[in-house]
Amino acid sequence: MTDSHPVALITGAAKRVGARIARRLHAAGYDLALHHRASQSPMQALVRELEERRPGSVLVLQCELADTDALAHLVADTVARFGRLDALVNNASAFFPTPVGEATPAQWDELFASNARAPFFLSQAAAPHLRANGGAIVNLADIYGERPLKNHTLYCMAKASLVMLTQSLAKELGPEVRVNAVAPGAVMWPAEGKAEHEKAAMLASTALGRAGDPDDVAEAVRWLLQEARYTTGQVLRVDGGRALNI
């Protein structure tokens, strides 16, 4: 393995949007360190797919992001394997309702661990390597980090923290490192499903009148990493204009 390929570390990369981001960056020439928590089977399938295209281009990393001590090891293991780190994509995210009156400290900890704490400490560990290579960070934010979603106060708070982290790190790590975020709209329905009338109502409030695709998000991430050379501290909404009506 030579150091001719840029290297990206992606959290929550085994499934859904994370896997689409992995495929898009791999196709764009990145070698990848792909993190997952417990998605062994889909991760194995993704790695086989990518390794068939370019052998030796993927490293699998498994850990619980709530384990803060493990986060620095994700970065260290990536650099040990590939010799460099050019991009960090903080994609992993917990999402579930926490109605006021029922929310628990454990739910607070779980939502903040993946959506705020892990992105900060991973960014901190990655910063020296990103600085050395003029790299970039992309965080997967949410329009609900700027607008509240009923019964999801803790999630909204955690994503609001991620938005502020994006802006603050852009100042802290510039000029060498660019830091941006992508805030998706309806590009993939929740894994636990969503009622058809709720889907219809959501799309009706979207300026483009339709759902997006996870590849729209993946391409936004790639663009921010590779081409947005004068963009930092920004949240790019990939939501079909939905935030206009929230």
Spans of all domains in the chain: 7-245
Do 121 and 71 contact (CB within 8 A), yes or no? Answer: yes
The CATH number, out of the four listed (3.40.228.10, 3.30.40.230, 3.40.50.10170, 3.40.50.720), of the domain defined by the range 7-245: 3.40.50.720
Per the model's pLDDT, the better-predicted residue between 211 and 116 turns out to be 116
Do 18 and 10 contact (CB within 8 A), yes or no? Answer: yes
Beta pairing class for 178-184 and 136-140 = parallel
* pLDDT value for 209: 87
Across the range 123-130, mean pLDDT stands at 98
Across the range 76-98, mean pLDDT stands at 97
* pLDDT value for 191: 65
- Residues in a beta bridge with 119: none
pLDDT tens-place string over residues 33-74: 999 999 999 999 999 999 999 999 999 999 999 999 999 999
| Residue 189 scores a pLDDT above 70 | no
Query: Above pLDDT 90, what percent of the chain?
Result: 83
Per the model's pLDDT, the better-predicted residue between 136 and 239 turns out to be 136
- Average pLDDT over the chain reads 93
pLDDT band at 243; cut points 50, 70, 90: confident
pLDDT tens-place string over residues 210-219: 878 999 999 9
Across the range 97-106, mean pLDDT stands at 97
| Residue 199 scores a pLDDT above 80 | no
Distance CA 1, CA 97 (A): 44
The distance of Cα 223 from the centroid of its chain, to the nearest Å, equals 14
* pLDDT value for 1: 39
pLDDT band at 2; cut points 50, 70, 90: very low
Active site residues: 155
| Residue 197 scores a pLDDT above 80 | no
Tokens of 177: 């490192």
pLDDT tens-place string over residues 8-24: 999 999 999 999 999 99
Across the range 107-136, mean pLDDT stands at 98
149-154-159 Cα angle (round to 5): 75
